[in-house]
Amino acid sequence: MTDSIRIVGLNKVFPSPGGGSVHAVKDINLDIGAGKLVTLLGPSGCGKTTLLRMIAGFEEPSSGDLFFGERRMNEEPPNTRDTAMVFQSYAVFPHLNVFENVAFGLRLRHLPKAEIEAKVTRVLEQTGLEGYAKRSPNQLSGGQQQRVALARCIVMEPKVLLFDEPLSNLDAKLREQMRVEIRELQQRLGITSIYVTHDQVEAMSISDEIVIMKSGVVEQLGTPQEIYARPANRFVADFIGKANIVEARIAGKNTIEINGVSIGVPLVPELPAGAEVSAILRPEAIHLSAEGGQFRGIVRRVMFLGNIAEYLVEVDGLGNWLVDISNPAEAGLFQAGSQVFLEPSAGSIHILG
């Protein structure tokens, strides 16, 4: 049985070496549903790891409350919280083979030998490690060692599973493979999970919900789709994916004006005509052509990335815009110095008041 997590007004203040204090986590309020995978995402120093450590019991809150289900956890030590953590470093025991690494916690619980055998065998199969039971860690790849660390957590059947940047030591291709495996396993087992990362793609690909943090504060909580399509502010828009942030003004109901060009958009804040706003234009939602469009510009840079071509276009009166065009091998490439026309997809424009 997995637990929901409720965080109420949680704060963490550290004493500063030079005197004073550092407010690392500021008045956090979160509700994480049982069986969900929620990612804490933000730049270095934003407080995400401190928040994870308070959930694990490695740090004590300065104020506020933490609940697993209906159970208040503030004073509970880590070993009684029924959590398990997968760390950035694999932390496998080099002197034990794979089976014994995974069985380690179960042996500390003094479970019967047959029960340990059954549990470990099942978890090795779940994590794709069947056939590796007798191997030592130095005979495994980085990805396989991380699977061992994950299996060692899962075999304990925790109510809450915690991940502290578990894939940051892996190369890009293996990282992509492992995040798929972690997500599929978490969904299959239905364990409430909290995942810390600074990698936006990783967060978008595995999460039920994402918590965007900055300077100890939650900037936005939502599904990956909500956060990408409807960022709460400029920081979130710029941090998740790529964004062109363009100054605009309210021209009327569901209409904005960018540099004298009127564009109908689906959602506009209830502001008076003439009010200044910011329009978020995602690079992949801008059409680029050789002739005809709402805006004109000059291509200043072209980056061919295989599946997309990324253009930096100097748009008349509006500065530089990023534009991503899919399948460039078929569409053809514009060269640096080319005049082009741009037309944003009105349905993809998000307005910040």
What domains can be seen in the chain, in order of their start residue?
5-234 (3.40.50.300), 242-352 (2.40.50.100)
pLDDT in single tens digits along all 353 residues of the chain: 788 999 999 999 999 887 789 999 999 999 999 999 999 999 999 999 999 999 999 999 999 999 999 999 999 999 899 999 998 877 789 999 999 999 999 999 999 999 999 999 999 998 889 899 999 999 998 888 988 999 999 999 899 999 999 888 888 888 888 888 889 889 998 999 999 999 999 999 999 999 999 999 999 999 999 999 999 999 999 999 899 999 999 998 889 999 999 998 887 778 888 999 999 999 999 999 998 889 999 999 999 998 899 999 999 999 999 999 998 888 789 999 999 999 999 889 999 97
CA 59 – CA 79 distance, rounded (Å) = 13
Structure tokens at 330: 């078929």
Q: What is the dihedral of CA 153, 155, 157, 158, to 10 degrees?
A: -10
> What pLDDT sits at residue 19?
79
Q: Tell me the whole-structure pTM to 2 decimals.
A: 0.90
Beta bridge partners of 214: 217
- CA geometry: angle 87, 205, 47, nearest 5 deg: 50
CA 161 – CA 2 distance, rounded (Å) = 9
> What pLDDT sits at residue 143?
85
Go through the chain and tell me how many residues it has.
353
Token pair 């500390």 is found at: 108
Nearest partner of 123 among 100, 91, 141, 150, judged by Cα: 150
> What pLDDT sits at residue 90?
73
> What pLDDT sits at residue 267?
72
> What pLDDT sits at residue 193?
96
Alpha helix (H) residue ranges in 167-312? 172-189, 200-206, 224-229, 234-239
